[in-house]
């Protein structure tokens, strides 16, 4: 496909956009500029199906795909009916691998949810094509949630987290035996990557916060596994989530992809908080996303701790669920873990990544935070830290003087693996999922190369009202629909992302 | 007394074709040249190249698959003539639409005689033809992972779901169509699978699955081939042959390219509309049609034809197919039977067994009917006298359909 065709198509495909006749209500997908019934005199309104659910009308299990879909090997393509608008659209069923003897008729009538996924790519050097014409079963791992904007109080105040969204893929691989406390890890499906994680996490953050996407005017995506060396995932997120005021196919918002190993996202939380407190920045919210299809060479020690997924925070000053009270950053040029441009996998210094790297920076940031704020360890209800494994964050916290009950809630790495840029944010999310109003949280990230950010957050009363709109980490970890894959499948799917 | 009340719009006076198979050493223009020369030579009272007033070609993938364009110029050199030429692309209906356009040219009074030729050379891109065929589908369908069999499989799955009533005979019937068409091609020396022998229903139902519920033996093959016709004004047809076959009606209808925007995917509206127009023009009904060449790119499409043409009621063709196949006692053509009326479909094996060089198919259907009505079909000649035939050619999954009604004695 060519770049101009890609641009034309994605405008509709990212959100399954259609047009509706203002007179008779007839809906057209693909969009039309006039109504077949009412003619050209009727105004056509945009509608989309990004947050809707549909129903399989019919389909086929494709065992010999066209060349562009060969990497996916086999899948179901289907016609999906959106009954709310009386339209049908084509799509591919994702998170699902048909068996040899699948009776596709058994899928007719099943409810499905649109998912933002890769369709295919033009080889390893060409464009990657995404769309929401991918659907997973509604009664499976990924549930459908409404996105209802609630008008905010407009009271303003200290910047903080307005909402958050966590996306962990459906698939897992178990370690034969725990590796530094990691029991099992999340695995991307064959059509997932950092950009799709970012969109899904951002979608959930919008749903949770209930703020209007048009008021989000900045988006940061921190990752060390961006699908492109040059072309920001951020722009795809803005287009898919419609962040900022819409204008001629684009949006009045900005952002950047950032890279600082596993703290590429947390480093920008303070920048986001600064922006929403700054009058020249006209937006009310900034979205900060940490996402990774965490990379590891085959059979490397990291290959038994890496996971996949993403977390998005919406930072603002109105209706926050946790205020951002204090911030400390500590950096040194420590070459413990790195990946040269063009290299496929990161290299690391083995035990050098421990004491002189992770522990030195994390412990320094934590201790400095205590010193600067005057808090003692007992003043914190929760500690959430970057988790390359389950051992490091526990040892670091204990070295500073925290107890297990303070950091245990955030140790989700045991069941989802190391999400790299999303790791400390996944730990924070697990804490926010259960924290009560007035709880105090110490968030500390770590990024190789090296640095640590520490934040003090205080939970507000609003957390309980917004919790009903969240998809918690625990729900995803304990879902009965989690599906386990073998090592070969895990490697194959990870390589595709 | 003749059933035919209307006047013909054109007449076929000569026809030629190549064998349908993988023709590795042929190029498209040479295939057309060979089919065209056979067609010219088949005209008993003589027909010269200089008698050709215009040429109507039909082909689908020549630009992508064969890396050629401007068929007009290619064929001008190949045939050694400089007359007006039109090339039609309408996916699998390219041939049928070339014939439709030729009829318009004749009816306009501009031409006395024209050459109609359909061709396709699919084997030039074995590794990519599965992608190329998706040019006949909607881009959103392509980008949803669909291949072309998958689209028909989606129609088939819904048909079985809506009308099969959970009866396994429905799926058996859709396999019997393939078995029947392979049986029909046994005497057709030009057919791709003429030497394969009979194919049992069990073989069809256990063949390799490619896009569930469609198996490889529900599907027409990848083929190379060309077919040509000499078409004239009906008033002068007997100047060329004593037994012209008249085209009583030539119809085209269209519908959305995309399955998902159609109201119903268990039938083909373009077929229904074209059939309706053809019957309206001729005053005939489906009961008057004795033989038909139906578009069976996948067996479900032949079932759709039987319903869209009115031979069976909507949703009930599979019952008729099953009963007709099971009750057949003869040895040659297996007719469909409904309330005592017989309709023999795809006498030379159809797309399934004769082969499906996409752009050639619509012209091949007229060739087959021409030969059958003139009793020149050789080993696959129907064993009774027939006079009225229908050709049904579909493009894509039903984005376009052509219907022609042919008759010998008017």
Residue B36 three-state SS: helix
Asked if the structure places residue B83 within a domain, the reply is yes
What digits encode the pLDDT tens for the residues B168-215?
Answer: 999 999 999 999 999 999 999 999 999 999 999 999 999 999 999 999
Asked if the structure places residue B166 within a domain, the reply is no
pLDDT for B2 equals 64
A18–B contact, CB cutoff 8 A: no
Q: Would the pLDDT of A229 be above 70? A: yes
Measured distance between the N- and C-terminal CA atoms of chain A, rounded to whole angstroms? 20
CATH number, domain at B356? 3.40.47.10
Q: Would the pLDDT of B372 be above 60? A: yes
How many other C-beta atoms lie within 10 A of the C-beta of residue A175?
A: 15
CB contact under 8 A, B128 and A67: yes
Q: Would the pLDDT of A155 be above 80? A: no
- Can you tell me the mean pLDDT for A272-295? 96
How far apart CA A407 and CA A393 sit, in angstroms, is 8
CB contact under 8 A, A88 and B155: no
pLDDT for A350 equals 84
Q: Are strands A216-222 and A285-293 parallel, antiparallel or unpaired?
A: parallel
pLDDT band at A308 (very low <50, low <70, confident <90, very high): very high
What digits encode the pLDDT tens for the residues B115-170?
Answer: 999 999 999 988 889 999 999 999 999 999 999 999 999 999 999 999 999 999 99
Q: Would the pLDDT of A271 be above 90? A: yes
Q: Which residue do the tokens 């040479």 mark?
A: B30
Q: Would the pLDDT of A23 be above 60? A: yes
Which pair of structure tokens corresponds to residue A62?
Answer: 């494709």
Residues of A in contact with B153 (CB under 8 A): 60, 104
To 10 degrees, what angle do helices B169-184 and B299-308 make?
A: 100
Angle at A345 between CA A339 and CA A348, to 5 degrees: 60
B92 annotated active-site: yes
Torsion A363-A369-A371-A377 (CA) sign:
negative
Residues β-bridged to residue B298: B219
pLDDT for B280 equals 97
B214 vs chain A: nearest CA distance in angstroms? 8
A130 vs chain B: nearest CA distance in angstroms? 10
How far apart CA A261 and CA A337 sit, in angstroms, is 8
CB contact under 8 A, A104 and B157: yes
To 10 degrees, what angle do helices B169-184 and B317-327 make?
A: 60
Residues of B in contact with A9 (CB under 8 A): 139, 143
Asked if the structure places residue B87 within a domain, the reply is yes
How far apart CA B218 and CA A154 sit, in angstroms, is 64
A386 annotated active-site: yes
Q: Which residues contact A488 (CB under 8 A, 6 or more apart)?
A: none
Asked if the structure places residue B171 within a domain, the reply is no
**Confidence (pTM):** 0.95
Asked if the structure places residue B165 within a domain, the reply is no
DSSP assignment string, A276-341: HT-TTS--SEEEEEEEEE----TTSGGGGTB-EEEEEEEEESSS-SEEEEEEEEEE----SEE--T
Please identify which of the residues B182, B295, B356, B392 carries the catalytic annotation. B356
Residue B29 three-state SS: helix
| B190-210 exposure pattern, b = at least 16 Cβ within 10 A, e = fewer | bbbbbeeeebebeebbebebb
Asked if the structure places residue B142 within a domain, the reply is no
Residue boundaries of the structural domains of chain A: 3-137, 160-496
Residues β-bridged to residue A459: A322
Residues of B in contact with A129 (CB under 8 A): 143
The number of distinct structural domains making up chain B is 1
Residues of A in contact with B396 (CB under 8 A): none
How far apart CA A445 and CA A266 sit, in angstroms, is 7
Residues of B in contact with A119 (CB under 8 A): 143-145
CB contact under 8 A, B131 and A105: no
- Can you tell me the mean pLDDT for B237-262? 97
What digits encode the pLDDT tens for the residues A173-213?
Answer: 999 999 999 999 999 999 999 999 999 999 999 999 999 99
CB contact under 8 A, B260 and A104: no
- Ranges A340-354, B49-63, B365-379: which has the least confidence: A340-354
**Which residue out of B128, B133, B142, B145 would a mutagenesis test of the A interface target, given it has the greatest number of A Cβ atoms within 10 Å?**
B145
Residues β-bridged to residue A209: none
What digits encode the pLDDT tens for the residues A440-452?
Answer: 999 999 999 999 9
B164 vs chain A: nearest CA distance in angstroms? 11
pLDDT for A245 equals 97
Which pair of structure tokens corresponds to residue B409?
Answer: 């004695």
What are the C-alpha distances in Å from B408 to residues A484, B188, B248? 67, 21, 10
A224 annotated active-site: yes
CB contact under 8 A, A62 and B145: yes
**CATH architecture observed for domain A160-496:** 3-Layer(aba) Sandwich (3.40)
Give the phi and the psi of residue A303 in degrees, each rounded to 5. -65, -10
In 3D, which of A336, A99, A89, A143 has the Cα closest to residue B262? A89
Asked if the structure places residue B112 within a domain, the reply is yes
pLDDT band at A1 (very low <50, low <70, confident <90, very high): confident
How far apart CA B369 and CA B17 sit, in angstroms, is 13
Please identify which of the residues A200, A215, A224, A242 carries the catalytic annotation. A224
How many other C-beta atoms lie within 10 A of the C-beta of residue A129?
A: 18
Please identify which of the residues A21, A219, A262, A317 carries the catalytic annotation. A262
B137 vs chain A: nearest CA distance in angstroms? 12
């Amino acid at each position: 496909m060519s770049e101009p065709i890609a641009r034309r198509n994605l405008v509709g495909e990212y959100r399954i956009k259609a047009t509706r006749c203002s007179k008779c209500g007839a809906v057209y997908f693909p969009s039309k500029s006039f109504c077949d019934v009412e003619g050209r005199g009727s105004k056509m309104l945009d509608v989309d199906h990004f947050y809707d659910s549909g129903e399989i009308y019919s389909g086929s299990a494709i065992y010999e795909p066209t060349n562009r879909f060969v990497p996916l090997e086999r899948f179901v393509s289907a016609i999906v009916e959106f009954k709310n608008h009386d339209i049908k659209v084509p799509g591919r069923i994702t998170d699902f691998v048909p068996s040899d003897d699948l009776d596709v008729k058994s899928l007719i009538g099943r409810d499905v949810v649109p998912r933002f996924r890769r369709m295919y790519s033009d080889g390893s050097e060409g464009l990657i094509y995404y769309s929401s014409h991918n659907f997973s079963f509604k009664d499976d791992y990924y549930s459908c949630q409404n996105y209802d904007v609630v008008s905010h109080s407009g009271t303003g105040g200290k910047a903080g987290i307005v909402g958050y969204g966590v996306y962990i893929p459906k698939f897992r691989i178990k370690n034969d035996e725990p590796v530094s406390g990691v029991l099992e890890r999340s695995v991307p499906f064959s059509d997932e990557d950092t950009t799709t994680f970012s969109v899904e996490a951002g979608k959930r953050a919008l749903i949770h916060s209930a703020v209007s996407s048009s008021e989000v005017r900045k988006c940061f995506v921190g990752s060390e596994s961006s699908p492109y060396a040059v072309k920001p995932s951020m722009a795809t997120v803005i287009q898919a989530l419609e962040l900022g005021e819409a204008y001629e196919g684009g949006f009045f918002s900005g952002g950047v992809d950032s890279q600082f190993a596993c703290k590429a996202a947390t480093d920008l939380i303070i920048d986001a908080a600064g922006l929403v407190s700054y009058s020249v920045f006209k937006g009310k919210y900034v979205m900060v996303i940490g996402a990774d299809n965490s990379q590891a060479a085959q059979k490397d020690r990291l290959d038994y701790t890496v996971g996949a997924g993403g977390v998005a925070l919406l930072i603002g000053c109105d209706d926050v669920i946790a205020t951002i009270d204090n911030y400390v950053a500590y950096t040194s040029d420590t070459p413990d873990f790195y990946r040269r441009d063009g290299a496929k996998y990161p290299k690391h210094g083995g035990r050098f990544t421990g004491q002189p790297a992770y522990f030195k920076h994390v412990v320094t940031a934590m201790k400095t935070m205590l010193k600067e704020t005057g808090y003692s360890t007992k003043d914190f209800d929760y500690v959430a830290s970057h988790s390359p494994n389950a051992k490091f964050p526990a040892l670091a916290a204990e070295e500073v003087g925290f107890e297990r009950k303070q950091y245990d809630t955030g140790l989700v790495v045991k069941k989802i693996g190391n999400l790299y840029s999303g790791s400390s944010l996944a730990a924070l999310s697990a804490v926010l999922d259960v924290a009560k109003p007035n709880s105090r949280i110490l968030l500390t990230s770590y990024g190789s190369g090296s640095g640590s950010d520490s934040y003090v957050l205080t939970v507000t009363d609003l957390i309980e009202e917004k919790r009903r709109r969240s998809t918690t980490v625990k729900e995803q970890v304990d879902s009965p629909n989690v599906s386990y894959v073998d090592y070969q499948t895990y490697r194959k799917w990870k390589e595709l992302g | 007394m003749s059933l035919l009340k209307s006047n013909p719009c054109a007449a076929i006076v000569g026809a030629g074709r190549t064998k349908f198979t993988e023709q590795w050493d042929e190029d498209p223009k040479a295939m057309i040249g060979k089919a065209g020369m056979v067609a010219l030579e088949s005209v008993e009272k003589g027909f010269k190249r200089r008698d050709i007033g215009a040429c109507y070609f039909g082909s689908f993938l020549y630009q992508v698959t064969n890396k050629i364009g401007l068929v007009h110029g290619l064929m001008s050199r190949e045939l050694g003539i400089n007359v007006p030429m039109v090339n039609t692309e309408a996916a699998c209906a390219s041939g049928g639409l070339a014939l439709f356009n030729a009829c318009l040219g004749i009816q306009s009074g501009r031409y006395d005689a024209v050459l109609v030729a359909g061709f396709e050379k699919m084997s030039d891109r074995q590794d990519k033809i599965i992608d190329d065929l998706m040019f006949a589908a909607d881009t959103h369908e392509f980008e949803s992972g669909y291949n072309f069999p998958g689209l028909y499989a989606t129609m088939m799955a819904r048909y079985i779901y809506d009308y099969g009533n959970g009866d396994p005979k429905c799926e058996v019937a859709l396999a019997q169509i393939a078995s029947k068409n392979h049986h029909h091609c046994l005497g057709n020396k030009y057919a791709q699978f003429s030497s394969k022998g009979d194919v049992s229903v069990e073989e069809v139902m256990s063949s390799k699955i490619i896009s569930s519920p469609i198996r490889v033996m529900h599907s027409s093959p990848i083929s190379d081939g060309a077919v040509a016709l000499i078409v004239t004004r009906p008033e002068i047809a007997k100047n060329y042959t004593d037994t012209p076959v008249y085209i009583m009606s030539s119809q085209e209808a269209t519908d959305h390219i995309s399955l998902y925007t159609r109201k119903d995917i268990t039938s083909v509206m373009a077929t229904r509309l074209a059939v309706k127009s053809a019957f309206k023009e001729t005053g005939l009904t489906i009961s008057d049609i004795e033989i038909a060449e139906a578009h069976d790119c996948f067996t479900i499409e032949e079932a759709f034809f039987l319903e869209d043409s009115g031979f069976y009621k909507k949703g009930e063709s599979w019952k008729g197919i099953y009963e007709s196949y099971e009750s057949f006692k003869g040895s040659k053509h297996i007719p469909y039977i409904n309330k005592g009326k017989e309709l023999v479909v795809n006498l030379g094996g159809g797309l399934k067994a004769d082969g499906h060089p996409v752009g050639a198919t619509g012209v091949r259907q007229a060739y087959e009917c021409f030969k059958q009505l003139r009793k020149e079909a050789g080993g696959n000649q129907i064993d009774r006298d027939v006079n009225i035939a229908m050709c049904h050619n579909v493009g894509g999954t039903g984005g376009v359909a052509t219907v022609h009604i042919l008759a010998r004695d008017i």
